[in-house]
Each structure stands twice: as C-alpha cells, then as structure tokens.
A and B are shown apart, each in its own frame.
Chain A
Amino acid sequence: MRWLTSPATETQVTHGQRLWLYVLSVVIMILLVVPTLIVIPMSFSDSQYLEFPPETWSTRWYQNYFGSAEWMLATRTSLKVAFLTMLVATPIGVLAAYGLHASQVAFVRIAFVLLITPMMVPIVLIAVGAFYAYVKLQILYTVTGLVLAHTVLALPLVVIVTGAALKGYDMSQEQAARSLGAPRWRAFLTVTLPQIKFAVVTSALLSFLTSFDEVIVAMFISGGDNPTLTRNMFNALRDQIDPTIASISTIMVLVTTGAMVLAQVFGQQRK
C-alpha cells in the first residue's frame, strides 16, 4: 500500500487522495466499452431473447444472416458504396485541403467553412434535401447517388484531418523540392504526399466508416435494388429486437476494430 501514499503529482497530491478519481474513471471506461462488446457473446446465444451469458450456444443467427438474400444484398450495397465513397472522397478532399492550405486567397476561409458545413447542418436536412434533389436528377436508389451523398458527408473529415497534417508539415520542404527543379505537382507527389500519408490513410478509413455506418441519408435515398445494411437494420430495429442484428453488429464491431488496429499499426510504422 506504499503506492497509496506516494505522490501522484509534483505538488505532492498522493495516489490515495486521488483514489476516488481512479475508481470513477475505471467505471466510466468500462461503461464506455462493455455495452458494445457484450453484444458479441450474446450473438452466439441460441435464444430469441439474447441472454448473457447464453445458456446454449449456437450460430443460428449468423446462419440466418448469411442465408438471407435480403441481408446479403444490403451488405454488398453497403460495402460497395463505402468503398467507392472512400475512393472518391479521399482524393478530392485531399486536393481541396491542399488547395486551401497552399493558396493565400481571401475567400479560403469561406471555402473551408463551406466544406465543413456537412458536419454542421442537421443530417436530417441533408437527407431530405438529397432525396428531393435525387428525384429531380433521377438517381434515387442508385449507388451513384449514395456515393455522392456519402462523399459530401465524408469530405469535412478528410479536409480536417488532412488540413491538420498539412498545418504540421513544413511547407519549405516543398519549396526546397521546387528550388531543386521539381514542378509543383511533382513536389507534392514526391515530397509532401509521402509525409502526410498517415493522414491520408486515416481520411480514407474515416470516409469508409462514415459511409458504412450512415443511417439517415441512406434511409431516404437507398432502397429498391440498392438498400444499405444500416437502412435494413434500422427498419428491423423499429419493429422488434431481431437477434440476427446481434450477429451483424458483431461483424461490424470487428470490422471497425480491425480498421482501428490497422490505423494504429500504420501510425506506429510512421515513427
């Protein structure tokens, strides 16, 4: 118990005096993580009622999910849309962030605010607006429409993450490359881009997840031949607690965790 009386700060507050803070924090951290993770064992329950711990284990809800043409179609749509969103949002977002960073025009701030509005405007409004626009453009219930809308939602993240990386990057390196004979585009590709690649990869992952997790816009503009997974999940949730969703949730948690680990590994390599 020596630890309790040892100082926790340079002002000699002891760990014992801070014990309440440690206990409280650990409880909060458990509450943050456990509700999401507890779905994983529950998804292997044999019962309709998702008990914990499950009395009998089974994979019937996974069979249910993988055996359902409807869920499979939705999963395929979601993956396709998320992947395409990543491919569209990342390059145009990175270019926009670079353009705004490098140019010293007065309306750069206005352009920046415009690019992050998708984050500020209530998402329901974006959904309703896109629904209306897509009826006019005749791209309702299409992959193209979904990708465009999700790209708009992902752009603020790409611009902010990449913009922050550019702020921490010494632009005189690009000047050095140019003084050594590289045209601007080549200086960007060979000198700047390799150094902000971590931010670019993070942006890409965020774009993917933004699209993959998105519910409300998908509720309005996905459907027909192209329903998204989240749209179907949401509709199922409103009706009753379908244990199949526990198995889908488990898969989604694993995908997310995988992406996070990937980002971490990549971040470690950078150092």
Chain B
Amino acid sequence: MWQAAGPATGKEKDRVLSTANTQALPISVSHVTKTYGAVHALDDVSLEIESGEFLTLLGPSGSGKTTLLMVLAGFTRPDHGSLKFGDREVIRTPPHLRDVGMTFQSYALFPHMSVAGNVGYPLRLRNVPKAEIAERVAGALETVQLGGFGERRIDQLSGGQRQRVAVARAIVFEPRILLMDEPLSALDKKLRDQMQIELRSLHEKLGMTTVYVTHDQREALTMSDRIAVVNHGRIMQLATPRDLYEKPANRFVADFIGDSTFLPVTRRGQQIVFEDQPLNHAAPAPEAPSLLLMARPERIHLLTGTPQERMNTFEAVAQQVIYQGDSYLLNAQLHNGEIMSLRGAVRQGTVDGLPSEGDRIRLGLAPEDTVIIDGRES
C-alpha cells in the first residue's frame, strides 16, 4: 500500500536526504467536523495546504488545532468530511497506511530502542534491506546534525537531541507530508529559538508539505509560510504572517497575535470616527456591525513637535513607564478612559527623556498603522 504513496522503497543510490528525492503533496481538507458530545472540536473546517508549504495551526489550548492535526494523521476519526493527500482520498485510511511523518509533543521516542533503532523502525516496517537501513539512518541523523549518535540510548539524550531524533525518525522514510505537534514546547527558550531556525531550514532542504501545531504566536510568525489561526474548532483566519499581523480578520486574531490597544470606533457616513474625531486610515474598513481601531504599541509615536500630515493624534495623560531592557512601554490614558500602550526602542538616553506620570502628552498614529477591524470575537 505504501509503495503507492511515495518513493519510500525506491532504489536510489544516494540515500542522504535531499530535496531531489522528496516530492511534496498538497493537502485538501474539506468540511471536516468532529464533535465530542455537545462540543464542536472541529466545526466544518475546510483548508487547502499547498504542496511544499510550511503551514502552522495556531491557537490557544482546546481550540481544536491538535484535533485537526490528529485528523490529518488518522488518529482522530471525524464525524464527516473529506481529506485528500494529492488526489488520494484518505479520510478512512488507517494511520499506518497514510505515509505521513509525524513528531509528537512528548517526542514519543521508544525508550527500549537505541537512537538508530528508533530511526530505523519505519524502514524495518517497510522491509528495507539491512544495509540500506543503516545507510539511510546514518543519513537522516546527519541531516539533523546527530551523526554518530546511533548507538546512544534515548535516556542519554538531552531534550534538544531527542527532538532531533524524533524529526529524523519522522523523515527517514521520506514521507511527502510532515506533521509536527508542538515539537518545541518542552525546550527552554534559547534552544527553542535555535531549533525554530533549524526546523525551518530543514524544511527548505527537504521541501515536504509541513503542518505545524503551536500555541506560540512568535514561533508561528517566525517559521511559517502561512498561518491558520484556530479557535473554537474553526479557522478564524488563514494568511501569511505579515497579513495576519497587519490585517487581522477580527478581534480574536488581533488579540492573539501581538499586543494591541483596541478603541471602539463607529462609521459615520463615509468616515470612521473615534469620539467625534474622524480617523485617517489607509486600508478600507470592513463591513461589520461593530468596529475597532487596532493600534500596535510599536507603531504609536510620542509627538513632540507638529505631527506629519494626515497623522491621527490623540491627547492623553502619561501613566507609568515600564522598562523592559531592549524597549520600554509607556501607558497613557486617553480622555475617554481607555489605556493606550506605546512601545519604543531603548537607545542611549531615551528613557530619561520620557514623560513622567501625570504629564499631558500627544500620541500619533500614521494612516497605514490605523487599522480598522471587525470588532467581533470571531
């Protein structure tokens, strides 16, 4: 069965993994629904993932992102829907015939097998000849920079090394799709940042379609071609990292990704107004019953002289300044009581010149940064 899906049992001479012998597959999810009792874990989800794409499912815990990944892997059987890998309908295919590589949050390395035993396991299942297994295991370990670690026991490895073994095991049989379930969540921050870059460059090298699950928005922004923000079993928005950050579809997405200040605004004729003050905004406002102005803290200016033309200005009273090392955060209260946060880079002397508590200040927001979003949560 699996021969049909890929060149897994091929006879290519050069067995070190490279872009050349991996051909990615597109994934098509349509109308997948999964309910547990009255709870919709997945609510009529449809999603097209392009061949070779790095797509991240991002959402809070319980949002359904892992459920969706488990549907792709075949461990969760949805109530209905369709799932295609390329042209092949696989929704009813059992997991072991799907030929997708997968890494697990707990790594799920087999403690009773050595590193090489783990990585060679999928090849043994496919009856690959012994010599070839050794060769391909060595190649896969080389790919994840663990050359020579084959004889180690799993409990002798550090967290980062385990993560690499898990990746090597998932790619050694050259699946055309790779699924990763919060692969970096157990690592500390430094290592996590390093592994993000490594996984991303590994993806560029191997080119397989990758679906990545995380709850860490920064990780998602760093790694992905596109991000699907998931909440309550539905996809809130599917977009590139930049579009997601700059043009969030609704308040949930804006809130989940990055920090922002939200100010209630209304439509008056052609204009969008905040407290009777018409706003200049570059992108058109969405059609929605309630609207919000989303202001990212690092896009807000602290005005001293005359503002640039068309810049929106807000009168405010300075509150506390929070020093955060590389940047500072200045909270300011607008006259309607809302708090607006402004983030600035800390350079020599900047912090000393900042307004102190109680000072009257003016904040400015360029039209390009004045983003009007749908005020609903979803």
Contacts and interface: CB of A to CB of B under 8 A. Distances in A.
Contacts of B170: 179-180
Interface string B94-112: 1111111110111011111
A253 interface: no
B364 interface: no
Nearest to B124: A190
Given A172-B106, A179-B73, A180-B173, A194 B96 contact: no
Interface in B53-103: 73-75, 94-102
B360 to A, nearest CB: 57
Given A175-B95, A175-B104, A180 B112 contact: no
Contacts of B179: 179
A99 to B, nearest CB: 18
Contact of A195 (B94, B104, B111, B169): B111
Given A172-B104, A178-B94, 5 more contacts: A170-B106, A170-B108, A175-B73, A176-B109, A176-B169
A144 interface: no
Interface string B138-181: 00000000000000000000000000000001100100000100
Interface in A135-190: 170, 172-173, 175-184, 186-187, 190
B32 to A, nearest CB: 19
B95 A191 contact: no
A128 to B, nearest CB: 44
6 nearest A-B pairs in the assembled complex, by CB-CB distance? A176-B108, A180-B122, A179-B102, A178-B95, A181-B125, A172-B108
A181 B122 contact: yes
A182 B97 CA distance: 8
A180 B110 contact: no
Contacts of A173: 108-110
Query: Which of A170, A173, A181 counts the most chain B CB atoms within 10 A?
Result: A181
A173 to B, nearest CB: 5
Contact count band on A: 10 to 19
A183 B94 contact: yes
B101 to A, nearest CB: 7
A191 B111 CA distance: 9
Contacts of B173: 180-181
A195 B95 contact: no
Contacts of B97: 181
B2 interface: yes
A180 B121 contact: yes
Given A170-B106, A172-B105, A179 B112 contact: no
Contact of B100 (A179, A184, A187): A179
A182 B105 contact: no
B126 interface: yes
Nearest to B111: A195
A179 B71 CA distance: 12
A195 B126 CA distance: 23
Interface string A190-207: 110011000000000000
B104 A176 contact: yes
Contacts of A181: 2, 96-97, 99, 122, 125-126, 173
Contacts of A172: 104-106, 108
Query: Which of A178, A186, A194 counts the most chain B CB atoms within 10 A?
Result: A178
Contacts of A178: 74-75, 94-96
A183 B96 contact: yes
Contact of B125 (A170, A175, A186, A194): A186
